[in-house]
Amino acid sequence: MEENIYRKARKKAAKNQPLLNNCESAQDLVYIERTKLLAIESGDKIPGPDDVLSMAKVYDAPELCNYFCTNQCPIGNGKPALIYENLPEISVRLLSAMHLLENLSDTIYRILEDGKINPDEVDDFMTVVETLKKLSYSADSLELWAKKNGFISDEK
């Protein structure tokens, strides 16, 4: 049986935190009851948002939040899942999307200045929307990288 992302994250974190070696001791750190944690890790139960936040924090695995939001949450399901990448890959994609958006600024103004999208503007409008999606994905990727590398904390 292939391990799911939550079990993999716990086992990876256990290399630095031996209490995470098993669900019995991990429950005290993640504040998820052992049988529920086992059910989440076996795929028999979908975790709740609070469970995922707790596991992500304790396991130092912010990618769990993105996985949950893009694969298990009914609101975010269907959005592209982030893949942890290195900084140069993210930078190239981010700068490319920003460049495309800069080139589209006149188009955006032309389409939106009258407050409506005319039939002959639909294709250009969809190009703008797709470019914004690329920019958003790149920004989210950069944020994941920053969290994974300790530049951003999820603590409030």
Same-domain status, 63 and 92: no
pLDDT at 82: 83
- Decide: pTM greater than 0.85: no
Residue at a domain's end among 71, 105, 129: 71
For the chain of 156 residues, list the mean pLDDT of each consecutive stretch of 10.
85 95 94 96 94 96 91 80 87 92 90 91 93 91 90 72
Same-domain status, 99 and 130: yes
pLDDT at 46: 94
155 domain-assigned: no
Same-domain status, 56 and 105: no
Same-domain status, 18 and 49: yes
pLDDT at 2: 62
| DSSP labels, 15-56 | TT-GGGGSHHHHHHHHT--HHHHHHHHHTSSPPPHHHHHHHH
pLDDT at 139: 92
56 domain-assigned: yes
Same-domain status, 51 and 102: no
pLDDT at 154: 65
pLDDT at 51: 97
135 domain-assigned: yes
82 domain-assigned: no
Residue at a domain's end among 45, 71, 97: 71
Residue at a domain's end among 24, 40, 71: 71
User: What residue has token string 């981010």?
Assistant: 94
Residue 19 structural domain: 5-71
Helix 63-71 and helix 122-148, axial crossing angle in degrees, nearest 10:
140
CA pair distance 107, 150, nearest whole angstrom: 38
30 domain-assigned: yes
pLDDT at 76: 75
